[in-house]
């Protein structure tokens, strides 16, 4: 059965360089941040911002996003920690996207308000979010590869050429006899890239022209949660269950419904 697996699990999740230990999960997150800042900076300049503004605001939004993501993960997965100290072991994985986006956006808003004091000519905060959205979802695509290095967040057993081969010691209880699983980290990474492309193409085509600032960011939330909700149906890692479904499925459904409704109302209002 192992011949089905086209995606092997890595043997290393970190590398030691002198006294330093570099965790690949963290490196994927850092690479994603760099991508988001560079793409966001270029797009924001085209919307009336200055080069370097996004990096300045990232000083506030990135730490806030990491803290928010970790808080969400800890609160929704508390029973999986063997000790309170495990709650801060971020290098082992565990950043809830909902907490990261929520607190990260709050941090960006605070940083933007501070920047406006010296640059009152900057556009509205919604314009900044629209500029940032494609880069953020690409950062999520990069960050998912950190789960691959940690051999985590895979889905149900699968026999297919693209299946992920999981070592015995990483298989969940009850799945020890299955060697290959859905590479849900890859599905989400691909979906995030698709969302980024759709947003950029629609933006260049003028789809958001005339809409209120922040509409593109709302579209990003709607599209991402659509794919995330479907992927949650495949995952088998430990999770809080509500009515037989994973917590993050319900969260995705709720946010998708709210953001899609908000987006449609904005488009209808724009046409009127």
CA distances from 70 to 92, 125, 143 (A): 11, 25, 14
Comparing CA positions, the residue from 133, 183, 129 lying closest to residue 158 is 183
Query: pLDDT value at position 237?
Result: 87
CA–CA distance, 231 with 228 (Å, rounded to integer): 5
CA angle 219, 220, 222 (to 5 degrees): 65
User: pTM higher than 0.85, yes or no?
Assistant: yes
**Domain segments of the chain: what residues?**
2-271
Question: d(Cα 21, Cα 46) in Å, to the nearest integer?
Answer: 39
50/35 Cα distance (integer angstroms): 18
Averaged pLDDT, 210-229: 96
* Closest-CA residue to 259 (of 217, 198, 211): 217
What backbone torsions phi and psi does residue 164 show, to the nearest 5 degrees? -100, 125
Mean of per-residue pLDDT scores for the chain: 90
Six-digit token string for 249: 């499925």
Range name among 76-90, 119-133, 146-160 with the lowest pLDDT average: 76-90
Q: What pLDDT, on a 0 to 100 scale, did the predictor assign at position 240?
A: 82
CA atoms within 13 A on the CB side of 80: 15
For the cut 90, the answer to whether the pLDDT of residue 143 exceeds it is: yes
Of the pLDDT bands very low, low, confident and very high (cuts 50, 70, 90), residue 89 is low
Phi, psi torsion values for 157, nearest 5 degrees? -55, 145
């Amino acid at each position: 059965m192992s011949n089905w697996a086209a995606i092997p699990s890595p043997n290393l999740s970190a590398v030691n360089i002198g006294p330093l230990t570099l965790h690949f999960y963290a490196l994927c997150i850092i690479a994603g941040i760099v991508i988001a800042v560079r793409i966001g900076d270029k797009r924001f300049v085209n919307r009336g911002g200055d080069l370097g503004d996004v990096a300045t605001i990232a000083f506030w939004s990135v730490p806030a996003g990491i803290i928010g993501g970790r808080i969400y993960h800890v609160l929704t997965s508390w029973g999986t920690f063997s000790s309170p100290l495990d709650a801060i072991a971020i290098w082992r994985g565990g950043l809830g996207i909902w907490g990261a986006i929520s607190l990260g956006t709050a941090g960006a808003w605070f940083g933007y308000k501070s920047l406006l004091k010296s640059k009152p000519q900057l556009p509205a905060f919604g314009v900044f979010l629209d500029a940032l959205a494609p880069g953020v979802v690409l950062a999520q695509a990069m960050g998912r590869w950190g789960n691959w290095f940690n051999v985590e967040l895979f889905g149900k057993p699968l026999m297919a050429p693209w299946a992920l081969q999981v070592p015995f010691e990483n298989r969940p209880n009850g799945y020890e006899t299955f060697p290959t699983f859905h590479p849900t980290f890859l599905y989400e990474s691909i979906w995030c890239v698709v969302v980024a492309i759709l947003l950029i193409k629609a933006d260049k085509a003028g789809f958001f022209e005339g809409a209120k600032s922040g509409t593109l960011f709302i579209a990003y939330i709607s599209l991402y949660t659509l794919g995330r909700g479907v992927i949650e149906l495949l995952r088998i890692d430990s999770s809080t269950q509500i009515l037989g479904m994973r917590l993050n499925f319900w969260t995705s459904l709720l946010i998708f419904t709210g953001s899609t409704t908000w987006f449609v109302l904005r488009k209808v209002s724009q046409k009127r």
